[in-house]
Amino acid sequence: MNEQTDTFRAPGLLIVLMGCIAMWTTVALADARPGRTGGTTAAPVDLDPLEALGRISAEAAAVDARAAEATAPEGTDDASTSVSHPLLPPALAALDDGVLSSAMLHHPPFAAEVERWIGFWSNSFSDWMPVYLSRMTSFESMVDETLAAHGLPWSLRYLPVIESGYSPGAVSSAKAVGLWQFMAPTAVGFGIEVSDHVDDRRDPFVSTDAAAKYLVELREEFGSWFLALAAYNAGPDRIKGLLERYLPDVEPSDAAYWSLRNVLPDETAAFVPNLLGAIVVASDPAAHGYALPEPVPFDFESVPVLGSISFEGAARAASASAEEIARLNPEYVRGVTPPGRQVELRLPPGRSAAFRAFFATDDPASGR
């Protein structure tokens, strides 16, 4: 969200110019995520978004009509209501998904941009894509359940791939944090705690629920998934301002997003094609040269903890490693539970009994 470039992981900033991708690396804490982009549009860019919208809508409608005609049963005038998108494999094209069903996937310049991002995720970022896919296995079931509970498109499960590389610890140069890259004011507005001791933007469960609520709000406000995703990236006020300035009294549409690409921030102009490219590659890794990732479970047992206990103390009590305690509790940013209140601490499976037994026979302060 909000134009961020990750300084917490490597590679950092990606600049895509005139269809060529150049990448350099910033290393910190031996982690990585995709960076942000400069202008990626290879096709000519219209200076007037309103004129561009008219042309884009007409071109996309014409391609849709030709595709529908091609799918009509022989000898009839009736076209199929389901028109496949050439960019999408059949398994994705068959989904009832508000993002993947966009007519813009038939618009040649937009489709070419998505193709470039498919190439990026398949080739230019091939060292890191397996890492992201592996991390995703820890959270995908939970993300899928949350998206479904809020009536959101399944394809949005891949949004954290481009936002954070599915790392709960991702921090951008703009100070966006977590799987879903929440800025602090937005996070607080959705009831997420951001304090000296607790940053629930790093909690995969809390942040995923908040992200789902935010995406629902954006879709309702902007009436188009492409515009909603642009608002997720650049902020709703910026997108509203651009729509009011360049496309007043125009019905919201995915085509409106693409017609604004010359006045959007570079990262936002590339955001939806980037996401679609990641969806195509990540949904079928084997077809793009990647081995299927081994699952990395995020299994745990929770225990109530009153007051401060360090990860090292919890590890001793539970006969576990401090690294595993830290992995399961990324929201406790100081490596210690917050003082003066009761919170839940996640422990590796099967370790809660040892933890309770330790504190039943010892002074709790001795393990802290």
pLDDT digits (tens, 9 = 90+) for 293-343: 999 999 999 999 999 999 999 999 999 999 999 999 999 999 999 999 999
- Residue 212 C-alpha from the chain's centroid: 11
Instruction: Give the residue, 87 or 112, on which the prediction is more confident.
Output: 112
Residue 188 has pLDDT above 80, yes or no: yes
Q: Which residues contact 265 (CB under 8 A, 6 or more apart)?
A: 3, 233, 234, 238
d(CA 105, CA 87): 7
What is the mean predicted confidence (pLDDT) over 1-8? 40
| 155-184 tens-digit pLDDT | 999 999 999 999 999 999 999 999 999 999
Residue 185 has pLDDT above 50, yes or no: yes
d(CA 274, CA 279): 9
Three-class SS of the chain: CCCCCECCCCCCCEEEECCEEEECCCCCCCCCCCCCCCCCCCCCCCCCHHHHHHHHHHHHHHHHHHHHHHHCCCCCCCCCCCCCCCCCCHHHHCCCCCCCCCHHHHCHHHHHHHHHHHHHHHHHCCCCHHHHHHHHHHHHHHHHHHHHHCCCCHHHHHHHHHHHCCCCCCEECCCCECCCCECHHHHHHCCCCECCCEECCCCHHHHHHHHHHHHHHHHHHHCCHHHHHHHHHHCHHHHHHHHHHHCCCCCCCHHHHHHCCCCCCHHHHHHHHHHHHHHHHHCCHHHHCCCCCCCCCCCCEEEEEECCCEHHHHHHHHCCCHHHHHHHCCCECCCECCCCCEEEEEECCCCHHHHHHHHHHCCHHHHC
On average, the pLDDT of the chain sits at: 84
| 111-143 tens-digit pLDDT | 999 999 999 999 989 999 999 999 999 999 999
Is pTM beyond 0.85? Reply is no
Predicted pLDDT of residue 10: 29
Gap between the terminal Cα atoms of the chain: 37
d(CA 188, CA 209): 13
- Determine what percent of the chain is predicted with pLDDT higher than 90: 71
Q: Give the domains, in start order, of the chain with CATH numbers.
A: 14-44+99-288 (1.10.530.10), 301-367 (no CATH)
Instruction: Give the residue, 27 or 47, on which the prediction is more confident.
Output: 47
What is the mean predicted confidence (pLDDT) over 142-148? 98
